């Protein structure tokens, strides 16, 4: 019985240490343990008006925050390069944003391999953005492997949208 409270304390401590946490899927407010106060890991940020061309909403919708990949590939398609060229241009104009590039895989693969594959995809995007003049110091990559699909069916229609790299913005590139 003493094990669980210790685990919660430990995790609470880790949560505090991880405030600026890009693990936004898992972050905070899980509820089961009632940790909802400070340090619960919820980062709040206004997304702005999608009609404001400097907003994250504009970037996500109008510039396009993601590129898709073929099965088991990390090579950028011509369409993907077009989207990323647009991202690079926008990111240079809006230089206050920090950038995390998430690499994802579909569920057709083993867990470890998909983590490595997601990392390859994120790195392909990062390399392209660097080649287009985005400062490497603003960017980090993270792989979610097959852990965070956005589409849940087990068909190619879903898989094709899950094989993606997503450029996620937050304030604070100057740090």
22 token code pair: 């890009």
What is the SS3 assignment for 100?
strand
**What CA–CA distance (Å, rounded) separates 68 from 22?**
21
76 binds another protein (CB under 8 A): no
Cβ proximity to another protein: between 32 and 51 the closer is: 32
**What CA–CA distance (Å, rounded) separates 159 from 166?**
15
Of the residues 143, 164, 166, 169, which one makes contact with another protein according to CB under 8 A: 143
Of the residues 66, 104, 120, 164, which one makes contact with another protein according to CB under 8 A: 120
Closest CA to 90 of 46, 122, 138: 138
Among residue numbers 144 through 173, which ones bind another protein (CB under 8 A)? 144, 147-154
- The answer to whether 75 and 124 are in contact (CB under 8 A) is yes
What is the SS3 assignment for 166?
strand
81 binds another protein (CB under 8 A): no
Phi and psi angles of residue 53, each rounded to the nearest 5 degrees, phi first = -65, -5
Stretch of residues binding another protein (CB under 8 A), selected from 48-56, 60-68, 75-83, 105-113: 105-113
- Which spans of this chain sit near another protein (rule: CB under 8 A)? 3-4, 6-8, 10-11, 14-15, 17-18, 20-23, 25-28, 30, 32-33, 35, 41, 72, 74, 107-113, 115-117, 119-124, 126-127, 140-144, 147-154
């Amino acid at each position: 019985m003493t094990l669980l409270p210790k685990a919660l304390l430990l995790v609470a401590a880790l949560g505090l240490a991880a405030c600026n946490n890009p693990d936004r899927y898992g972050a905070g407010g899980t509820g089961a343990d009632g940790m909802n106060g400070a340090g619960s890991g919820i980062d709040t940020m206004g997304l702005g008006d999608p009609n404001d061309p400097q907003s994250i909403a504009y970037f996500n919708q109008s510039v396009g925050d993601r590129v898709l990949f073929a099965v088991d590939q990390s090579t950028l398609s011509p369409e993907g390069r077009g989207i990323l060229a647009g991202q690079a241009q926008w990111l240079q104009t809006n230089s206050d944003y920090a950038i995390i590039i998430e690499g994802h895989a579909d569920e057709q693969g083993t867990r470890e391999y998909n983590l490595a594959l997601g990392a390859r995809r994120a790195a392909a995007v990062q390399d392209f953005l660097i080649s287009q003049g985005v400062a490497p110091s603003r960017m980090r990559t993270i792989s979610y492997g097959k852990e965070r699909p956005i589409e849940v069916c087990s068909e190619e229609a879903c898989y094709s949208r899950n094989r993606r790299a997503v450029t996620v913005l937050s304030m604070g590139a100057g740090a």
